[in-house]
A and B are shown apart, each in its own frame.
Chain A
Amino acid sequence: MVVKLQPSALKRTRWYEVCMRIVFGGLATVATGMIAKSYGPVVGGLFLAFPAIFPASATLVEKHIREKRQRAGMDAVTRARDAVALEARGAAMGSMGLIAFAAVVWNFLPDGRAWLVLAAAGLAWLLTSISIWQMRRVARGYFASKPQRG
């Protein structure tokens, strides 16, 4: 399946859902700063990869897919939960990109320009995540097309 951009999907997002993301994201950022202040940067750094927004996002995905399928009179609950599982699988691949992001910042921030290092780390996250996603897709296609023995 080819990656597609669907700006119309934003119409399904309600204002309170946007508010919820801003609040969860803001609280996660404040909490991370407070943990670092209280326990130091070693413990605080762990929380830079805390899945603060993930439970809320996953719940919204489940709700949107369920509503869409119910309107079409199709099996809603199972399909919605499968969509969340697929999204979580994507997040697992994205977390490997997050390791690349952190490694770039850790290694290059002390000697480099801060904005340039953060931009390079963001790019490392994107390229690593997309590469792993693409490799998994190719591997799945290869094993699916391989003839079974016996």
Chain B
Amino acid sequence: MLFRFVVGGLVVSIFSALGDVLKPKSFAGLFGAAPSVALATLGLTIASNGVAYAAVEARSMIGGAVALFVYAFSVAWVIFRYKRSAALVTAGLLCLWLATALGAWALFLK
């Protein structure tokens, strides 16, 4: 578990640093949806559970990525429209990600 924590933390930090040094902001934002957790998790899953298990996870990840699109688009819209603080909007809308991801699971993956 400690190994997983360290690998995940480092991969996420590297992608975040890449986002920091790039301009313009909309381009840097692409790295906000980088497959950092996915790369760390899938690499470790392949080593421990095999490729078939990891492929099933990747199939579900499509639902998670659609939920991420809905989440990020909503964050942008709410902040542009209402000028609320980033912390409030980004944390508050996490429930939208969860609802969309679980909806995708119930409709297409269950």
Q: Which of A44, A77, A94 contacts B33 (CB 8 A)?
A: A94
Assembled-state Cα–Cα distance A118/B75 (Å): 29
CB distance A3 to B9 under 8 Å? no
In the assembled complex, A70 has its CB within 8 A of some CB on chain B: no
Interface of B is mostly: helix
Q: Which residues of A contact B26 (CB under 8 A)?
A: 86-87, 89-90, 93, 133
What residue in chain A is nearest B31 (Cβ atoms)? Answer: A94
B59/A45 in contact, CB under 8 A: yes
> Across the interface, do B32 and A48 meet the contact criterion of CB distance under 8 Å?
no
B56 at the interface (CB under 8 A from A): yes
Q: Nearest residue in A to B17 (C-beta to C-beta)? A: A10
In the assembled complex, how far is the CB of residue A99 from the closest CB belonging to chain B, in whole angstroms? 5
- B contact residues around A3 at 8 Å (CB): 22-24, 27
Count A-B contacts at CB 8 Å: 329
- Looking at chain A, what size class is its interface with the partner chain? 35 or more
Majority secondary structure of chain A interface residues (helix, strand, loop or mixed): helix
Tell me the bound Cα distance from A77 to B86 in angstroms. 11
A-facing residues in B55-95 (Cβ within 8 Å) = 55-69, 71-73, 75-77, 79-80, 83-87, 90-91, 94
A125 to B72, CA, bound (A): 16
B-side contacts of A42, CB under 8 Å: 56-57, 59-60, 105, 109-110
Q: Which of A12, A41, A80, A92 has the most CB of B within 10 A?
A: A92
**Residue contact B44 to A95, C-beta cutoff 8 Å:** no
Contact, CB under 8 Å: B37 / A28: yes
A114 CB contact (under 8 Å) in B25, B51, B77: B51
**Which residues on the A side are within 8 Å of B68 (C-beta)?**
49-51, 91-92, 95, 98
Given A10-B17, A88-B76, A94-B33, A46-B38 contact (CB < 8 Å): no
Query: Which of chain B's residues have a CB closer than 8 A to the CB of A36?
Result: 41, 45, 57
Interface residues of A in 91-137 (CB under 8 A from B): 91-99, 101-103, 105-106, 109-110, 114, 118, 121-122, 125, 129-130, 133
**Cβ–Cβ contact B80 & A45, under 8 A:** no
- Given A24-B9, A57-B19, A88-B29, 4 extra CB contacts under 8 A: A22-B13, A50-B68, A81-B79, A91-B72
Measured CB to CB, the residues of A under 8 A from B are 1, 3-7, 9-10, 12-13, 18, 21-30, 32-33, 36, 41-55, 57-59, 61-62, 77-78, 80-99, 101-103, 105-106, 109-110, 114, 118, 121-122, 125, 129-130, 133
